[in-house]
Amino acid sequence: MRAIWKGSISFGLVNIPIALFPATRTEELRFHLLRASDLSPVNYKRVAEADGQEVPWEQIVKGYEYEKGKYVVLKEEDFARVDIEATRTIDISDFVPLEQVDPMFFSKPYYMIPEKGGERAYALLHDALRDSGKIGIAKVVIKTREHLASVKPAARGLVLELMHFAAELVDASEWKIPEVREIGKREVEMAKALISGMSSEWDPTRYKDDYREAVHKLIEEKIEHGGELPGKPRPKPKPGKVIDLVSVLQESLAQTEAKKKAAAKSAKERKQTGGAPARKKRRAA
Per-residue pLDDT of the chain (285 residues; tens, 9 = 90+): 789 899 998 888 888 999 999 898 877 778 888 988 998 999 888 999 999 999 999 999 999 998 999 999 988 888 767 665 566 889 899 999 999 999 999 999 999 999 999 999 999 999 999 999 999 999 998 877 889 999 999 988 999 999 999 999 988 777 777 776 777 888 888 888 888 888 888 887 887 878 778 888 888 888 887 777 777 777 766 665 555 667 777 888 888 888 888 888 888 888 777 655 545 444 443
Q: Which CATH class is domain 5-25+81-167?
A: mainly beta
- Please give the Cα distance from 134 to 11 (Å, whole number): 14
- Rounded to whole angstroms, how far apart are CA atoms 17 and 86? 14
What are the residues whose beta carbons fall under 8 Å from the beta carbon of 139, sequence distance 6 or more?
Answer: 86, 90, 91, 93, 146, 147, 148, 149
Cα–Cα nearest to 108, from 195, 2, 25: 25
Helix (H, G, I), strand (E, B) or coil at 76: helix
- Report helix, strand or coil for 30: coil
Label residue 91 exposed, middle or buried (CB < 10 Å: 0-12, 13-18, 19+).
middle
Rounded to whole angstroms, the Cα distance separating 5 from 3 reads 6
Whether residue 157 contacts residue 23, with contact meaning beta carbons closer than 8 Å, is answered with no
Paired with 95 in beta bridges are 136
Helix or strand (DSSP H, E) at 5? strand 5-11
Q: Look at the pTM and tell me if it is higher than 0.85.
A: no
DSSP at 68: T
> What is the rounded distance in angstroms from the CA atom of residue 125 to the CA atom of residue 158?
8
